[in-house]
Each structure stands twice: as structure tokens, then as C-alpha cells.
Amino acid sequence: MDENWQNKHIVFFDGECGVCNFWVQWILERDKNDQFMFASLQSDFGQSFLSERGLETKVFNTMYLWKPNQYYLIKSKAVLQIASILGGIYKLTGIGKIFPASVSDRIYDIISRNRMKLANQKCYLPTPHQRGKFIEV
């Protein structure tokens, strides 16, 4: 496998969720500095990531952000860190870090539980450059 993901922030998402795919597209469009790559939790790469950390491998209601050899974040912490990495106006979401994770994760969980009702899976055709940002699509 191409190891170009080793120096990137990897976003793991539910590949069958319309809301999750919307956010992946949103990040792709704003990732001007090429800092992110993506893998669905259902992919071999995603399943390996989950298994190696003793995380749930059958339920895909959590987004993970992983910086290899540094950290991984879940739920609201992952979302806030993604915004911070994107920079610019999105850094302002960092104010959300003043709330305890238990509060922000509760909001995340409400959205996660209802995500299949919020958006249907849509057909998205990434550009060739964007396609290169997906691991085992």
C-alpha cells in the first residue's frame, strides 16, 4: 500500500452514511493544504485501525481522526480538531473546546443517532486529486 498517508490526518467515517459523506466532501473542498486523507470504517484499512485499538468493528456511528504515531480523537474532539487543522474561519470552532467532552459528545451522539434520517446517500464524484485522498475506497 502507498504509505503517503503516514504524514496526514486520516478521517475515518461511515461509508454508508449520507451525513458522513457530506462532511467528507465538505472537508475535501476546504483542505487547501492537503492535510487529510479518508478511509471508511468498513474498509480493510478502517477495520484494521479499529481492531488494533480494541474499538467497535461492527457499529459505525463514530468519526475518528488519526494522526499516525501521534494521536487519535473521536466524536466531537475529532470534529473540532478537523476544523482547527483547516484553519481560517474554521478555527473559531475551537471555542467548542471550552465545553466538556461529555456535553459536546452528547450533541454528537444525538446527531449520530439520527444521521440516517438527516441525509440519504448521494452519488458524489470526486476529482482525480480528491480520489487520491481515499485509502481503500
Left, alpha or beta for 128 (phi > 0: left; psi -120 to 50: alpha)?
A: alpha
Per-10-residue mean pLDDT for the chain, 137 residues long? 79 87 91 95 96 94 94 92 91 75 77 66 69 78
In the prediction, which pLDDT does 1 show? Answer: 43
Sheet of strand 36-40: strand arrangement = 36-40, 9-13, 64-67, 71-74
In the prediction, which pLDDT does 73 show? Answer: 95
